[in-house]
A and B are shown apart, each in its own frame.
Chain A
Amino acid sequence: GAVVSQHPSWVICKSGTSVKIECRSLDFQATTMFWYRQFPKQSLMLMATSNEGSKATYEQGVEKDKFLINHASLTLSTLTVTSAHPEDSSFYICSARLGETQYFGPGTRLLVL
């Protein structure tokens, strides 16, 4: 139980385009999901907390207009990287909270050329 999926698992895009990443809780409902970014050889950096039916809460330094988060249902949150630049290339990971535990998706590797 408590499975979280992400799609796509990897994506390559051109600079200036937008990329949407989906995070789904497959066997449970999650009112709260989280989006992280993981840099090479570093720990996870929380980007934002996504709450179903309301606006996401962004961490300091994360541009909300660049990283659009939508949590339209209890099983789906999306992260859209708008006008992507090469410095946005990274590994993006989502998690969904069940009770007091976060369960993680497999991550999406984004490469912006």
Chain B
Amino acid sequence: AQSVSQHNHHVILSEAASLELGCNYSYGGTVNLFWYVQYPGQHLQLLLKYFSGDPLVKGIKGFEAEFIKSKFSFNLRKPSVQWSDTAEYFCAVDSNYQLIWGAGTKLIIKP
């Protein structure tokens, strides 16, 4: 069965630190890849997505992610986090038009 794994369940960083959240998936075929974010008390929002083309995709709020096919990875990065980035981040893979979700990573940014 296809699966998505996010390596860190909780990450705590100070403001201005660099961020990288890992995401690996098991499906070997063509995939669409997504990162969603859920801010406290808010609903899921699309952060960025990869369908094809340039494997480095840029999303909203300064986030980017790199698709590395050989590693089955789609890691999320941000060079300098802000307190407002405190949220839960979900990686998801589209398989047959259904999303397979990672368990999520709770990111806490210390002011």
Footprint of B on A, CB under 8 Å? 32, 34, 42-44, 46, 49, 93, 95, 97, 100-107
Residue of chain B at shortest CB distance from A106: B43
Residues of A with C-beta under 8 A to B101: 43-44
Residues of A with C-beta under 8 A to B102: 43
Footprint of A on B, CB under 8 Å? 32, 34, 36, 42-46, 49, 51, 90, 94, 97-99, 101-104
Other-chain residue from A34, A100, A107 in contact with B51 (beta carbon distance below 8 A) = A100
Distance between Cα atoms of A46 and B97 in the complex (Å): 12
Given the known interface contacts A43-B90, A93-B43, A107-B43, the answer about A102 and B99 at a Cβ–Cβ threshold of 8 Å is yes
Q: Could you tell me the distance in whole angstroms from the C-beta of A8 to the nearest C-beta in chain B?
A: 14
Distance between Cα atoms of A93 and B36 in the complex (Å): 14
The reply to whether A104 and B44 form a contact with Cβ atoms under 8 Å apart is yes
Number of cross-chain contacts by CB at 8 Å: 38
- Which 6 residue pairs are nearest across A and B when measured between Cβ atoms? A106-B43, A104-B44, A43-B101, A43-B103, A43-B104, A104-B43
The reply to whether A101 and B98 form a contact with Cβ atoms under 8 Å apart is no
26 sample A-B contacts, Cβ–Cβ < 8 Å, listed by A number: A34-B98, A42-B103, A43-B90, A43-B103, A44-B90, A44-B99, A44-B101, A46-B98, A46-B99, A49-B97, A93-B43, A93-B44, A97-B97, A100-B94, A101-B46, A101-B49, A102-B34, A102-B99, A103-B46, A104-B43, A104-B44, A104-B45, A105-B43, A106-B42, A106-B43, A107-B43
